[in-house]
Amino acid sequence: MLIEDRLDDLRDGLDGRHAARWRRLREQCDWYRTQTPPTEHPSASITYFGPAAANLALAYRLTGDPGYRAGAARWISAAIGFPHWGKAHLPDHDLDAGWLLHGLSLAYTWLGDDFVLADELRAKLELQGARLYEFAVESEGSWWSSSYWQNHNWICYTGLAGAGYALGKSKWTERAKANFATVIDLLPADGSDMEGVVYWRYGVPWLATYLDLLQDQEGLDWWDRCKFLANTFSYRLQQCAPGFEENIDHGDCHDRRSGHSVALYYKLAAAYRIGEAQWLGDLVADRFFWREAYASGVKPGVMPEAYLELLWYDESVRPVSPSERSPLSAYFPDLGLVTARTGWDDEATMVSFKASPGGGHQAWETSHRLDTERGWDTLSAGHHHPDAGSFVLTSRGSFLAVDEGYSNRKRAGDHNLILVDGQGFADEDRYHVYKGVPYERQARMVDVLASDGVAHGTAEIAAMYPAELEITRLDRTLVFTPAGRVVLLDRCAARSPRDWTLLLHADWPLTLGEDIVMRSGSAQAWVRLHTPLTVETAVTEVEANPTSSTPSLRLTRTMHTLRATAERRTTAAMLTTIEPTSALRPEPPSARRLDLVRGFGIAFDGETVLLADDDGVIEGEGFLEKAKVVIHSATRRVSL
């Protein structure tokens, strides 16, 4: 599988065009040599056994070195000896089984029939494959078997397909093919992923792995058919924080350094001729790889992907820096995600703003239709947070307005959002916050402008709050200017007086005074509230267990929170500005509210932002405009 018609080319290039990838592979195999596989199933995940076998087996197939074959035998023997694959969560029926089926099936084909454990390995693959297949059939409609938009589906079915191809089990491969035929047609064409960057990095390589297997084994080319994969690198690139090493952490993100997959970047570059993907893969491999390997909270992590980096690299793709042609602003409509940055340099300022139904529009619409028609439960959006209307802001290599990262009990109040009488979204404070909620409970992003480092969007989120609050309007408009300033306008209404509390979360304590100051590293931001509000600070604690395979594991996060409240009002219009600057040499804030006849206006030094009233009118002394927004700067005028 995957290498038969490429062996001569791969071998010939090990000391030439493939030298860097070969070095990675042999270093990874050296690491396996120094490890002792456990003889009893550990309490934690054993997913790493799969790629361990694949890496060592590929090194043997390329070189004929019996040491690599012996190394593979150590790891395979241990895996064969485990009565079940997986311990704490769904033994034999979930991620551990999927990972091991795939990796050990590749090893089975690459090591050959004369491998000392060939018969035992085949028998184990047949047993574990049958267990996973039977679970997929029996659980159809209730768990990963039909959860088309998330990583458990992709991993388990790819593992089943790999074993099916290795063993000639057409029943397994046909079921996997039918699943992925559905998956690739239902995934959003804009490439956005509701699970967030970290689970994008964990799950999406398996979509590419399956399409690679399908093309190799059946000659079916589904790469062009899969619009999601064709466009998903753009989503990932636009979720890179300036400097590229860290990621914007919407959704469940163990940390901000677990977002890269060199192997996947190379595969997307090869499949779709994306020079920027080749460039980012090279950048991560050269500069960020070891930081990611040791700081990442995602296991097995980047190190075991060595064999895929070698197999998926195509030297004919010319690397292209994003600064050459990638847009400074982007909009991904399925996830309602708007991003903008002042540049592609490391010191740039960037915002990422989002609002959509649970799982994104495509998953929300399709899952409700399928579940109604078939009595299924397909959405499985447990990694999607109650964060519609929230945003993340970074500048000068530091995070200013931050997201909570990973949580088991998800709450809107852990995001940069609005609380109403101290309450967040309906049915929150649980892991699957979108499970079982009515179809009508949807947020959406409207009036989007994303052009050349400028952004405007309005998140309509009133439907997300408990009905008893009787909210008739909660619209958040965010503007990002060419200089990297942020203007927020929150328009709120309810049938009876409410407290409307604006939240801003930061990594470090905020300073209250004439101006509110957020600081982080070399960056700071001046926050000005242009509406009379009651202001206080608080500490927000978030705790999570990111993996069911290790119940004792805990991640904790402390955020420092600004709480600004408009008290006991039926309507409120809260106008806020955030001006990033250097913490080392700060420039003074300049935001001031303009006195308009109709609409809302903010003037900065060198920039002006004008927002319309409900009739779409902006009126001031000497001017009248019909526009949602007008943004003036020294060199540009942008309107919508």
| CA nearest to 79, candidates 126, 41, 45, 113 | 41
Residues 267 and 206 in one domain: yes
Q: Is 20 part of any domain?
A: yes
- Report the DSSP pairing between strands 516-520 and 523-529: antiparallel
DSSP state for residue 413 in the 8-state scheme: G
Residues 384 and 506 in one domain: yes
Residue 44 pLDDT greater than 70, yes or no: yes
What angle separates helix 151-167 from helix 197-218, to the nearest 10 degrees?
A: 20
Residues 336 and 463 in one domain: yes
Q: Is 294 helix (H, G, I), strand (E, B) or coil?
A: helix
DSSP state for residue 257 in the 8-state scheme: S
Residue 180 pLDDT greater than 70, yes or no: yes
DSSP state for residue 189 in the 8-state scheme: T
Residue 441 pLDDT greater than 90, yes or no: yes
| Per-residue confidence (pLDDT) for residue 635, from 0 to 100 | 85
pLDDT band per the 50, 70, 90 thresholds, residue 294:
confident
Instruction: Look up the domain containing 118 and give its range.
Output: 1-186
Q: Is 595 part of any domain?
A: no
Give the mean pLDDT of 165-191. Answer: 98
Q: Is 609 part of any domain?
A: no
- Helix (H) / strand (E) element for 439: namely none
Q: Is 28 part of any domain?
A: yes
CA distance 150 to 179: 12
DSSP state for residue 547 in the 8-state scheme: -
Residues 341 and 247 in one domain: no
pLDDT tens by residue, 474-521:
999 999 999 999 999 999 999 999 999 999 999 999 999 989 999 999
Residues 217 and 172 in one domain: no
Q: What is the CATH classification number for the domain harbouring 582?
A: 2.70.98.70
Say how many domains are in the chain: 3
CA pseudo-torsion sign 161, 163, 169, 172: negative
DSSP state for residue 486 in the 8-state scheme: E
Which of residues 325, 355, 373 is at a domain's end? 325
Residues 159 and 72 in one domain: yes
Q: Is 604 part of any domain?
A: no
Q: Is 452 part of any domain?
A: yes
* Global pTM value: 0.96
Residues 333 and 477 in one domain: yes
Residue 19 pLDDT greater than 70, yes or no: yes
Q: Is 567 part of any domain?
A: yes
Residues 3 and 108 in one domain: yes
Which of residues 138, 159, 186 is at a domain's end? 186
Residues 408 and 305 in one domain: no
Give the mean pLDDT of 91-98. Answer: 97
Residues 504 and 365 in one domain: yes
Contact 411, 429 (CB under 8 A): yes
pLDDT tens by residue, 125-153:
999 999 999 999 999 999 999 999 999 99
Ramachandran region of residue 190, left (φ > 0), alpha (ψ -120 to 50) or beta?
Answer: alpha
What angle separates helix 19-33 from helix 49-63, to the nearest 10 degrees?
A: 120
pLDDT band per the 50, 70, 90 thresholds, residue 254:
confident
Q: What is the CATH classification number for the domain harbouring 304?
A: 1.50.10.100
Q: Is 602 part of any domain?
A: no
Residues 167 and 242 in one domain: no
Residues 245 and 383 in one domain: no
Give the bridge partners for 420, in sequence order: 423, 500
| Per-residue confidence (pLDDT) for residue 551, from 0 to 100 | 65
- Report the DSSP pairing between strands 592-594 and 617-620: unpaired
- Helix (H) / strand (E) element for 503: namely strand 486-506
